[in-house]
């Protein structure tokens, strides 16, 4: 489990996103996949978000259930570097690992530009407010 000030590791987020993508492509529920490898659906949710690491045995079991290779979960994994472009890519991966991130990513491009900019301004304002709340607490 992560400490409050730690973020999920990029590899865990990537693997979790690939688990979710494959599960959805095959039309499986979280419960179905979780049951197939002997975990709770809540644990699977943590794997898909990247907040918990998947053990080798569980990843192998998921690969069997999801009809793919273990290596598939790592495809597209960029090199781990620390420049600003990589931080931005990591932020996008973390965002896309969430249910609301996927939904927002599909809905926002359909909006007129003026509304997109309003959503961006709102998100920035909420983020600043949230940072202020954390500093005060």
Mean pLDDT per 10-residue segment, the chain (137 residues): 63 90 94 97 94 96 97 83 65 76 85 93 83 53
Q: What is the 3-state secondary structure (H, E, C) of the chain?
A: CCCCCCCCCHHHHHHHHHHHHHHHHCCCCHHHHHHHHCCCHHHHHHHHHCCCCCCHHHHHHHHHHCCCCHHHHHCCCCCCCCCHHHHHHHHHHHHHCCHHHHHHHHHHHHCCHHHHHHHHHHHHHHHHHHHHHHHHC
pLDDT (0 to 100) of residue 58 = 97
Picking from 96, 101, 104, the residue whose alpha carbon sits closest to that of residue 13 is 96
pLDDT (0 to 100) of residue 48 = 92
55 CB neighbour count, 10 Å cutoff: 12
33 with 65: CB under 8 angstroms? Answer: yes
Picking from 26, 2, 12, the residue whose alpha carbon sits closest to that of residue 93 is 12
pLDDT (0 to 100) of residue 92 = 79
pLDDT (0 to 100) of residue 102 = 78
How far apart (Å, rounded) are the C-alpha atoms in residues 87 and 71? 24
pLDDT (0 to 100) of residue 133 = 53
Tokens at residue 3, please? 């400490």
How far apart (Å, rounded) are the C-alpha atoms in residues 24 and 123? 28
pLDDT in tens, 112-133: 999 999 999 998 899 876 655 5
Go through the domains of the chain in sequence order and give each one's CATH number.
Answer: 10-97 (1.10.260.40)
pLDDT (0 to 100) of residue 4 = 47
């Amino acid at each position: 489990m992560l400490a409050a000030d730690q973020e999920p590791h990029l590899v865990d987020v990537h693997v979790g996103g690939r688990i979710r993508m494959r599960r959805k492509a095959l039309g499986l529920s979280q419960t179905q996949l979780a049951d197939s490898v002997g975990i709770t659906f809540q644990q699977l949710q943590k794997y898909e978000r990247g907040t918990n690491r998947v053990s080798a045995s569980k990843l192998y079991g998921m690969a069997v259930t999801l009809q793919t290779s273990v290596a598939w979960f790592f495809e597209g994994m960029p090199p781990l570097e620390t420049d600003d472009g990589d931080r931005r890519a990591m932020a996008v991966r973390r965002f896309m690992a969430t249910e609301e991130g996927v939904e927002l990513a599909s809905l926002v491009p359909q909006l007129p530009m003026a509304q997109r900019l309003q959503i961006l301004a709102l998100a920035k304002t909420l983020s600043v407010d949230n940072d202020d709340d954390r500093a005060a607490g």
